[in-house]
Chain A
Amino acid sequence: MKRPTRLSAGEKLVLTANRLLDGQIVWRDAFGQWLPQIRHAETYDAESAELALENAKHNAQRDGVVGVYEVAVQDGSAIEPVSVRERIRAHGPTVHPQFATEA
């Protein structure tokens, strides 16, 4: 399902997916690489995200990822997803701190 792309002030979009082989959450950087740390993610405004999303979906199999979609983030000193769900995806389950994504 395509997430709504209406953005509030200070918000941008990043692209995320799961890695096909192990399901690990990844974020797309400026070079089209998929990396586990959200801090590497390229940020887009709503318009440029659309093209990037299309491109990423097109290359998903080649890039070994599945379920590509956009996530709204606060683009401050650090990139931080707006929703609780995406914050948990970015940083790991809150109830198992030992499984937190390495920063």
Chain B
Amino acid sequence: MNAPVGHYQYDQIDRNFLQSRIEEFESQVQRRIDGTLTEDEFKPLRLMNGLYLQLHAYMLRIAIPYGILDSRQMRKLSDIAHRYDRDYGHFTTRQNIQFNWIRLEDTPAILRELADVDMHAIQTSGNCIRNVTSDEFAGAAADELVDPRVHAEILRQWSTLHPEFTFLPRKFKIAISGSPNDRVAARFHDIGILARPGVDGTVFRIFVGGGMGRTPIIGQEIFDAVPEDRLLATLEAIVRVYNAHGRRDNIYKARIKILVQAIGIEAYREAVEAELALMNPDHYRLTPETVAAIRARFAVPELVAPDNASEVLAQQRIADREFDLWVRSNTHEHRASGHIIAVVSMKPAGGIPGDATSVQMKRLADLADVHSFGELRITHLQNVVLGHVRQDRLHDLWLSLREVGLASANVGLIGDIVACPGLDYCALANSRSIPIAQKLGARFGNADLQAEIGALSINISGCINACGHHHAGNIGLLGVDKRGEEFFQITLGGRADQGAAIGSILGPALPEDDTVDAIARIVDCYLGKRTAGETFLDTLSRLGDVPFKDAAYEAV
């Protein structure tokens, strides 16, 4: 087959490795079933292969490196959902997909099917470097300085099964972007990387020690401009210092953010520089030849559009108001003329954020073939992107999306709610996150209302692990357990972009329905007090949270 547009094409070495890994896991599963392995012995082995035991069944989390899939991979996921699960899958906030109803005995067969399309479930669990995430508009956005996918792939190859980093103190997450508009939450990652052009090629600004969870911390810049040839050495040294000095005695203090806080960013930088001085630079040098060889395994889309493509789109927007509303919220400017980036919202009003049925997955694959060179991207906001759509065909795409219930015009708006699986599925949860997301989605479902409210993100986590990134939501909700009842703590002012901020707790936690009402009053308060052109965050920063607090708790 030809190299896929958007992601690296496996070679025979990659495929042989996956086959032997599956054989190994198949024998481990067999030994678990016959009792040779106890659950305590088996658990770390299954987790290294993405298999969790959740509330109702086994859950298989499948890696989507830097969030990019081709249509045959999406079709395979659809097929797995249909044949091995309950006909749906769930896109996660780490650009992966998980299936919630998997049978242990089916898992080796599923992994074989995935390997047929160059996919696996490695690096989706355990205290290793997890699947690397990247900008969902990579290689397409007009505002991009450097396409980060080639380097994301290099990081994938460097980190996968890295022998030294397989048993880190805790899990380790890396995100990379090449745009000044941070769409990857770089400052909320263990390592966040922002690529930009330098005088002699690409350079990388690196943040360390960011994270969410129980102790949310914004990452700090450790290096401003690491040259390409030193990228892997630098990352290796950063992770080595963490591996050597990160705490292993207390799971809540084991992430790199705690170490960076404990010793300070200067001392951390010095430790990394000392480590670099001991390393053989030749061994870690990322040569232009290596970069070129990886780049060659990505196909480049031929972006040809008729001269009047933009005009056609403009006419269609005038003729169809509903379509125009969708274009406003669900598209992004493309670097190539006559093209546009389309974001398919997986957040229908009242639906489950990030869920897709097998039929929807298959349809998305078909639409990717027709409209975007067979390429799809999963976003950390749980949506799906078609990166290279011709402007004169955007209306056709929208009509097709409507047929399968995927044309919600709410990307970046209040209905674009991010929620973790919560207590309905997750064994660690304190409260459910999906029902309140559904209630909020339904409450603000009207597209005109959402457009009027403007940019406003809601993020919901079912426990302090913060998989729903509530700390970074403009409005964040954290589920807490109060004497066996589900309550929600509201935070305001979080954001994950270049102005990264952690939301502040507004007041006492409220029961679910009261929380929905409180958010409605917060939004009303904003609408009443905003000045022309102000977003929710603008008004909040101008007025502080007192008026919003008064509004939220007025009826309680």
Q: B67-102 toward A: CB 8 Å interface, digit per residue (1/0)? A: 000000000000000000010000000000000011
Known contacts A21-B33, A21-B103, A21-B104; A84/B486 CB under 8 A: yes
A21 CA to B32 CA, complexed, in Å:
10
User: Are A22 and B423 in touch, CB under 8 angstroms?
Assistant: no
A22/B103 in contact, CB under 8 A? yes
Q: Does A95 contact B (CB under 8 A)?
A: yes
Q: Are A23 and B56 in contact (CB under 8 A)?
A: yes
**A22-B58, A23-B104, A66-B53 are contacts. A93–B484 as well, Cβ < 8 Å?**
no
Tell me if A40 is interfacial: C-beta within 8 Å of chain B: no
Given contacts A20-B104, A23-B103, A85-B423, contact A95 B55 (CB under 8 A): no
Q: How far is the CB of B438 from chain A (nearest CB, A)?
A: 7
Residues of B within 8 A of A88 (CB): 55, 423-424, 432
Task: Report the interface size class on chain A.
Answer: 20 to 34
A31 at the interface (CB under 8 A from B): no
Contacts of A55 in B (CB 8 A): none
| A93 with B104: CB separation less than 8 A | no
Given A21-B33, A66-B39, A89-B56, CB of A94 within 8 Å of CB of B432 = yes
Does A5 sit within 8 A of B, measured CB to CB?
Answer: no
Report if A95-B57 is in contact (Cβ < 8 Å); known contacts: A22-B104, A23-B104: no
Residue numbers in A under 8 Å from B438 (CB-CB): 95
State in angstroms the CA–CA spacing of A67 and B86 once bound together: 24
Are the CB atoms of A25 and B56 closer together than 8 Å? yes
Q: For the complex, what is the distance from the CA of A85 to the CA of B56, rounded to whole Å?
A: 11
Whole-angstrom distance between the alpha carbons of A2 and B411 in the complex?
Answer: 44
Rounded to whole Å, the gap between the CB of A3 and the closest CB of chain B is 13
Are A95 and B434 in contact, with the CB atoms below 8 A? yes
A22 touches B105 (CB 8 A): yes
Residue pair A84, B53 in contact (C-beta under 8 Å) = no
Whether B352 pairs with A95 at a CB distance below 8 angstroms is yes
Taken together as a complex, chains A and B put the C-alpha atoms of A99 and B192 apart, in Å, by 39
Query: B425 within 8 Å of A by Cβ?
Result: yes
User: How many A-B residue pairs lie within 8 Å, measured between CB atoms?
Assistant: 69
**Nearest CB of B to A99, in Å:** 6
How many Å lie between the Cα of A95 and that of B485 in the bound state?
17
* Min CB–CB distance A94 → chain B (angstroms): 6
- The answer for the CA separation of A48 and B27 in the assembled complex, in Å, is 39
Instruction: Assess whether B35 is interfacial by the CB under 8 Å rule.
Output: yes
A25 surroundings in chain B (CB, below 8 A): 55-56
Tell me, yes or no, whether B213 is within 8 Å of chain A by CB: no
| A24, B105: Cα distance in complex, Å | 13
**Chain A residue nearest in CB terms to B56:** A25
Give A85's nearest chain B residue, CB to CB: B423
Give the residues in chain A near B121, CB-CB below 8 Å.
none
For chain A residues 22-51, which have a beta carbon within 8 Å of chain B? 22-25
List residues of chain B with CB within 8 A of the CB of A21.
33, 103-105
Residues of chain B within 8 A of A61, CB atoms compared: 35, 38
Could you tell me the distance between the alpha carbons of A85 and B32 in the complex, rounded to whole angstroms?
27
A85 vs B55: C-alpha distance when bound (angstroms)? 9
B39 engages A67 (CB within 8 Å): yes
Contact between A23 and B58, CB atoms less than 8 A apart: yes
With a CB–CB cut-off of 8 A, which chain A residues contact B481? 84
Contact B33 A20 (CB under 8 A): yes
Say yes or no: B56 contacts A93, CB within 8 Å: yes
Complex: how many Å from CA A67 to CA B431? 21
**8 A Cβ contacts from B387-416 to A:** none
Report, nearest first, the 4 A-B pairs whose CB atoms are least far apart: A23-B57, A93-B424, A22-B103, A23-B58
Beyond the given A93-B55, A95-B352, please list 6 additional residue pairs across the A-B interface where CB-CB is below 8 A: A20-B33, A20-B104, A23-B102, A23-B104, A66-B53, A94-B432
The 12 listed contacts between A and B (C-beta, < 8 Å) are: A20-B33, A21-B104, A22-B57, A23-B102, A24-B57, A83-B484, A84-B485, A85-B429, A95-B352, A95-B424, A95-B432, A99-B101
